[in-house]
């Protein structure tokens, strides 16, 4: 059984790192023998479409109040999101670092910081 930090058979971060390694190892394999290889062979648009489909399934399971199905659909979403990260040469550690950076900020503070950064970027673009 997992605790509130996602720790069960080991650290949740380790699980994500191991899964990322598996995804990366299957990237170049035969698409007829590996689901991950098949996703990569179809390109980024197909991977992103799958992420969208899984996100929709998460919403539907949540609206139905089906807790076991919700857990399964979130697992599918996380998996396909990790495939998308790999397609952009990113790892779960990149996302975890961003979450750690945000830790302790309120959602409203974080939103304000992102909005300010977007304005700064826009202003830099106008100056060139």
Q: For 84, how many CA atoms within 13 A lie in the half-sphere containing its CB?
A: 16
Q: Return the pLDDT at 29.
A: 97
**In contact, 2 and 75? CB cutoff 8 Å:** no
pTM for the whole structure: 0.76
Q: Return the pLDDT at 5.
A: 43
Q: Return the pLDDT at 127.
A: 66
Helix axes 92-102 and 12-26, enclosed angle (nearest 10):
150
Q: Return the pLDDT at 11.
A: 62
* 69-82: b (≥16 Cβ within 10 Å) or e: ebeebbebbebbbb
Q: Which of 20, 16, 98, 83 is nearest to 6 (CA)?
A: 16
Mean pLDDT by groups of 10 residues along the chain of 128 residues: 44 87 96 98 98 98 97 98 98 93 78 81 78
Gap between the Cα atoms of 16 and 3, Å rounded: 16
């Amino acid at each position: 059984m997992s605790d509130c930090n996602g720790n069960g058979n080991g650290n949740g971060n380790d699980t994500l790192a191991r899964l990322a390694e598996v995804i990366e190892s299957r990237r170049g394999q035969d698409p007829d023998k590996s689901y991950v290889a098949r996703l990569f062979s179809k390109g980024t648009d197909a991977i992103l479409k799958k992420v969208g489909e899984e996100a929709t399934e998460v919403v539907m399971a949540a609206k139905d109040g089906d807790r076991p199905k919700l857990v399964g659909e979130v697992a599918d979403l996380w998996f396909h999101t990790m495939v998308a990260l790999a397609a952009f040469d990113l790892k779960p550690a990149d996302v975890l670092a961003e979450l750690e950076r945000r830790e302790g900020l309120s959602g409203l503070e974080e939103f304000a910081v992102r909005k300010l950064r977007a304005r700064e970027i826009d202003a830099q673009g106008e100056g060139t």
